[in-house]
Amino acid sequence: MKILNTLSLLSLAVIGSKAMKNISSKELVKDLTIGWSLGNTLDATCFETLDYNKNPIASETCWGNVKTTQELYYKLSDLGFNTFRIPTTWSGHFGNAPDYKINDQWLKRVREIVDYALNTGGYAILNIHHETWNHAFQKNLDSAKKILVAIWKQIAAEFADYDEHLIFEGMNEPRKVGDANEWNGGDYEGWSFVNEMNDLFVKTIRATGGNNALRHLMIPTYAACVMDNAVNNFKFPSGDDKVIVSLHSYSPYNFALNNGAGAISNFNDGSEIDWVMNIINSNFISKGIPVIIGEFGAMNRNNEDDRERWAEYYIKKATSLGIPCVIWDNGYFEGEGERFGLINRSTLQVVYPKLVNGLIKGLGNSIKTRTTVRKTTTTTSQSQPTNDNSCFSVNLGYSCCNGCEVVYTDSDGKWGVENGNWCGIKSSCNSASRNCWSERLGYPCCQSTSSVVYTDNDGKWGVEIGNWCGIY
């Protein structure tokens, strides 16, 4: 027993770690149902009105949204969302060449919000968003490459231990800003810029090693658009099965996005959505290339009934092709701008419940019924008397285990490990109801539920009284 201590504990540490699942992105996207974007928040920029040095995290609320909370993500999870895109602008939050060091306070705040999303048991997508340095002109390419590598190396290092529930998105709508070709699908200069930056992004993340060697990555077409010329000139990397195409589609345009002449408030024609889905299918899905529509939406025109029909139609079409969609919510409900607000982030009231209902109906049977998860870092254990005299190991110089997970058996008895030390399993643990794997991780066995709400490398998890528990 004593001889095996070091080797056995080392093996246990490997077995018990939160390892990255080695699955393809094509498999991963099957677990993504409906997504929500934290728009106009971490992506907000107020260079002219804020002193970023004085308050590095003030930009989160400078476009009018409130500070993001954990409860917002729990509410969204309750509604059925399990994928959370976190648009993040890094411009203004990093230093000069050659290091381009990201501000520590900003990186910490980004990580907090990523954790909010992941605490629901869902997925998070983290990107670089409204940047000032990656406009898709050839003259910018060399400097943009240096910044991209520096920024993504730091992000990758910060989240190196996170598992497959965290996805990195290399760029948001990279395009020739201010150019005549900005929104028309691009030209050779723009396509080449985006393809080179995408390739460098993938290589940069892979080179950081650890979990990032298996990290699922999203790369966009030019401007993330679905136009023929952008799609036809997009280069998808070969030999890497953990890459996803990132596309945006506010369709039909006049119903969903147009805020000027030609805008309509009635949804009676899904042909433009059909066209978009056919382009995606013929160029990507039919070739085994996974896609996430990272932005879509239809702005408020006091037409919630029509938006409900639109949402169901859009999601039903996408779901039939295995394409997860992430709705854009910028927190704006009224006014002359883009009114994509969905949930009031202060009160957590769903302002347009019919729209949400349309999204969920569009999923059909794809959405998984689940209990809302409230995962915390608080360590809990089974409440039971701890009496060293109640087990065999005390006479051998080892304490009794508080839990009942058996990791080794010898002629002396059954052994567990707690806090990195061997302990003896009490005789009271012989009851099958006391024997589950989660106790060695600091979580109790489930006592009254067998409903699985989350599965990872450790096992199947349930929730009781707001806390995680292990199902055996």
Residues annotated as catalytic (active site), given as ranges? 173, 295
CA distances from 442 to 204, 276, 408 (A): 36, 48, 18
Q: How far apart are CA 136 and CA 47, in angstroms?
A: 21
Residues contacting 260, CB < 8 A, separation 6+: none
Q: How far apart are CA 423 and CA 406, in angstroms?
A: 10
Using CB atoms within 10 A of its CB, is residue 237 exposed (0-12), middle (13-18) or buried (19+)? middle
Q: Tokens for 165, please give them.
A: 């529930």
Q: How far apart are CA 27 and CA 284, in angstroms?
A: 15
Phi, psi torsion values for 415, nearest 5 degrees: -115, 150
Taking each helix axis from N to C end, the angle separating 141-158 and 188-207, rounded to the nearest 10 degrees, works out to: 30
CB 101, CB 108: distance < 8 Å: no
> Closest Cα to residue 220, out of 88, 140, 129?
129
> Closest Cα to residue 71, out of 411, 344, 356?
344
Tally of CB atoms within 10 A around 31: 16
Phi, psi torsion values for 349, nearest 5 degrees: -80, 135
> Closest Cα to residue 306, out of 361, 343, 256, 350?
256
In 191-316, at which residue ranges do the beta strands (DSSP E only) sit? 217-220, 243-248, 291-296
Q: In the sheet that 421-424 helps form, which strands lie side by side, from edge to edge?
A: 408-409, 414-418, 421-424
CA distances from 62 to 65, 221, 413 (A): 7, 29, 62
- Rg of the chain (C-alpha set): 25
CB 347, CB 393: distance < 8 Å: no
